[in-house]
Amino acid sequence: MSETSSGPRGPMLARPAQGLSGRLAAPGDKSVSHRSFIFGALARGETRITGLLESEDVLNTGKAMAALGAGVERTGPGEWRVTGCAGALTTPSAPLDFGNAGTGVRLVMGVVAGAGVGADFVGDASLSSRPMRRVTDPLGEMGARFTTSDGRLPAHLEPSRLTGLSYTPPIASAQVKSAILLAGLGAEGETCVHEPQITRDHTETMLKSFGADIDVTRDGPACTIRLAGPQTLTACPVDVPGDPSSSAFALVAALIIPDSDVTLTGVMDNPARTGLFTTLQEMGADLTLQPGPDMAGEKTMTITARTSTLKGIEVPAERAPAMIDEYPILAVAAAFAEGTTFMPGLEELRAKESDRLAGTAALLAASGVSVETGEDSLTVHGAGLRGIEGGGRTATHHDHRLAMSGLVLGLASRAGASVDDVAMIATSYPDFFDHMAALGAVLEPV
């Protein structure tokens, strides 16, 4: 396993921008990258990965799978070879350290529980503050024996024998669904997850690619997924598509900065991930979407964004699962729209890397945006293009999406804006600063 470079650290200032332009390949999708390491490690045979997002979060997942017995080797930029264990993982000799990777730790908890081995799970201060019972409780119903620190990391798992479970997550969460399904691969009997509201479906798509016997039945907004265990995956190549969540920052910047024209290629086109683009189009965004090649079982597209006069709207609450990570940058777009944007159904934002709902409201208010929060809602009163004075500083609370959203707000405001730290951006988008500079943005340490 190789390390990523640490990248910029400390406070950063975004200067007011004029005319962002350029064409970029979208950064590799974080969700698919995590899963490519995990599924490759569980499979029989050798999995070749191209286009992997080499972020700190993803590499921590790769290190965990190597510690569990898989062969994990970097063969070039974004290119990796994973030699799988055919489901026969080994007990790691040290705690599995996931840093800030919430997706990694929750999915691997399911993997290790299903494999019948034990492990200790640890993370950084941010990850250690986040809830784990949403995963450990249903895994416990399957027979997993977890000991946690009041529902948080560090956590210890005793070797366990699992049986299948029928489960309806109380909160829509692809991480919870995925952890249960991955545990189900090693459990006796059928595992069934019923989603009243469909979440991102990368786990189901990739399980099919890796030869899993899995049934997915959709009924309007709901979905039921069934798989019988135990079963073993078969290695297959993975060409990672571009990440819609990371792509959102450059695209929204182009919409709200005058005289901008930005194109991103290879962006994943998955209905469970494209809620932001639908919402922006409803707000009047000038977005051109053109089909691209299929990658890792996913459709892709090329997206061009041009400066737009956006209008405030009410975002349907049922759309939240398809864009839950994009609400901070949507809120920034709403600040530069004309009129009020109301975003309900955001209770999941309270349990992200930070209380992302409160953090988003604070970063807007710091630069003069009129904003209101409810228990599960955000209301932003927009001021139009260049209508925000700026000058505020984002308190990131170690949250990469708040950091990048705060910088985009600064680029579009009259006085710029700063963030208190940018080190954590490398956990999800290590090329963020290079990409934004290539488009003409000025981001500098302060």
User: How many residues are listed for the chain in this entry?
Assistant: 446
State residue 219 phi and psi, 5-degree precision.
-135, 90
Cα–Cα distance measured from residue 419 to residue 280, given in angstroms and rounded to the nearest whole number: 25
Answer whether 287's CB lies under 8 Å from 262's CB.
Answer: no
What the block records as the tokens of 154 is 């560090």
State residue 96 phi and psi, 5-degree precision.
-80, 115
Cα–Cα distance measured from residue 412 to residue 386, given in angstroms and rounded to the nearest whole number: 6
Cα–Cα distance measured from residue 123 to residue 408, given in angstroms and rounded to the nearest whole number: 28
Catalytic residue among 325, 399, 421, 431: 325
What one-character-per-residue DSSP string does 80-110 give? Answer: EEEE--TT-----SS-EE-TT-HHHHHHHHH
What 8-state DSSP symbol labels residue 262? E
- Return the closest-CA partner of residue 177 out of 243, 227, 219: 227
Amino acid at 407: L
Cα–Cα distance measured from residue 369 to residue 6, given in angstroms and rounded to the nearest whole number: 32
What the block records as the tokens of 427 is 């956990």
Active site residue 325: yes
Phi/psi class of residue 226: alpha, beta or left (left: φ > 0; alpha: ψ in -120 to 50)?
Answer: beta
What the block records as the tokens of 404 is 């990048």
Q: What distances in angstroms separate CA 408 from CA 15, 76, 86, 403, one per listed residue? A: 10, 31, 44, 9
Answer whether 296's CB lies under 8 Å from 32's CB.
Answer: yes
Cα–Cα distance measured from residue 350 to residue 345, given in angstroms and rounded to the nearest whole number: 11
What the block records as the tokens of 93 is 């000799």
The set of residues, in sequence order, having a beta carbon less than 8 Å from that of 150 and lying 6+ positions away, is none
What 8-state DSSP symbol labels residue 298? B
Omega within 30 of 0 (cis) for the link into 159: no
Q: How far apart are the first and last CA of the chain?
A: 33
What amino acid positions are annotated as catalytic residues?
Answer: 325
